[in-house]
Structure 1
Amino acid sequence: MSHPTPPGWYPDTAAPGYERWWDGTAWTAHTRTGATVIQQSGPRPGAGGGGGTGARTIALVVAAAVVVAVAVTGAVLLTGGNDSAPTATRTGSSAPSPADTATDGAPGDASPSPSGSPAGEDPTVLVDQLNGITLPIPDGWERVERPTDEMLTMRTVDSEAYYCPGTSSAMCYHGTVTTRTAGGADPTTPEAIARKDIVAAADRAYDEDIIGRPIHGGIMSHRQIAAGPVSVAGRTGYQVRWRVVTGKGPGGYVQSLVFPSAVGSESPVVVRYAFDAGSGGVPLALMDTLTKGIRPIGDSETGGGVGSSVAP
């Protein structure tokens, strides 16, 4: 009998060097750079105080694992491996093989998917599986299937992209929204996280892109135009909003919104907004509309929940 592949990060063969999050039943849109390093803890063999014993213990464990693997493989081959739950390989192993990992179905599915988003995902909703929330995707916006960073992203459509002021190689978008889980190095309260993150949000949107190219002529000044507690999906969060003046172009507005996750240990969720100012920009009121439209996954309430569309 096999077991479902547990949730976790697994290699994404459609994007070499990246890993994709498997939530236990389906692939999500979350990706990150790979190259996870596993280090052996404990004393080194021969370092004194039982190094030889540790080596013999490891050898016994490895040998036992090989025997179990062979036994399971034989059993599945005899039964045909006809399981309804997703498994990593057809030989009964529940861990995905890096060579066989696909971007759709269970880890190890031999048929790769042409898209990185889960099958049947609503195109009008950005689903953040890790944090248990959804955001409505406005009209004229789209989900970014393979973001260059590790944050789930939606932005104005590619047809409205333009070369960032001050460079002829970097592309900019009139509106961008990203979500991520606050890291261990972040402060602990929503207010403290938001006040720290707004600096990084402004720099990422209007100073340098992710590979260090200068954009918009850099940030010349900023002014805080809003800050305070806000209710998000029935939870109390905090937001900070800046108006950014740039060396070239009209500049824009950035906002960092932080609130407790709807799942698990309720780790803080960080939602960043970046809207261009000027005639080609996105209406500033859309920031508040999107914030009000954030819902826990599975909440079908109207007004920005699952299955609805928001006009900019």
Structure 2
Amino acid sequence: MSNSTPPGWYPVPGADGTAGHERWWDGSAWTSDVRPVQAGGGGLADAPTQVSWQTPQPTAPATPPPSYGYGAPQQGASSYGYPAQGQPSYGYPPAGGYPPPSTPPGRMKPGVAVAIVVGVLAVVGVVAAIALNSGGDTPRADPTPTVTVSTGPSSTPSPSPTKKTSPPPTPTPTPSLPPVPVVKDTAADTQHSITVPVFQGWDAQTDTTHSTVFLGTGRYTCPGGGSCIRGQFSVEKDTISGSSARAAAEAAMPTYAGAIFTGITGHTDAGSSSTTVAGVSGYAVRWHITTSDGTKGYVLMVAVPAKGGGYVAFEGGVDDAAGAPDPTVLDQILKGIKQDTSASGSGT
């Protein structure tokens, strides 16, 4: 920031570098009033805002004042901050804020007068240069740039560059497997020389009106009255016919599905495929059905070749509702059926 220089007498250096005379500054421009330096200083000339100027020796070309900021560092002088003690100052007076003490006025020698004239002309030239550069008549200190003083390496370590790491791959969720039923018993089918697993929570009957083995679970009262169950599986006494196991299973499926679920309005295939029961290859038809009252369920019909001709039917169904067993239990029963060589039946 530049400050306005107050009116006052300001020293004009002589030929030997000492202030021999003072010139009056009226606060806005230099006047023609010149006087010898007064002993003890000159009042307002000692103001801290005083700008001191240095004129060149008459025998050497004028040294231009520094353009901006601080002078170039001298040998032995510090590189930053204010000028070292004993060096010329720019923008602010020497240490102490006052110009150097003047010598008592005496008889002026001709050489001194010439030096004064040269000094005055130099001062006027400097003032004119400042006026041209600043666009006004007010002398002001050179603009001082901000100087960053290095105090050595920072005590705070620079942060290490962050290592970019790829996010861990999102694990693919493992599909939940249906619970494995606990086998509590087996039911013997003497007609087909096989045994059928009976899981925990299931009841078994053998040699009923239509089935050699019948399994049921989840008995409850039907909405319209009577007894209903959530799941069932049976091995039929009578064989079914067809040109192949697949044809026999597909032909028998509608009749059986309609017998255990009333009012079927539609069905979708739930994974029909070839299968094996007790080591004998057959075919399984699987349906997911819907009924007129909104009930849904799964129905299984499997046809396996019988020894006397035709196909043995393994069939079952479970509700698609809360409290019903998982539909895979029907295939788990099929998988658990074993050949029973001790039975006296004809086998499958």
TM-score normalised by L of structure 1: 0.47
TM-score relative to the length of structure 2: 0.42
Larger Rg: 2
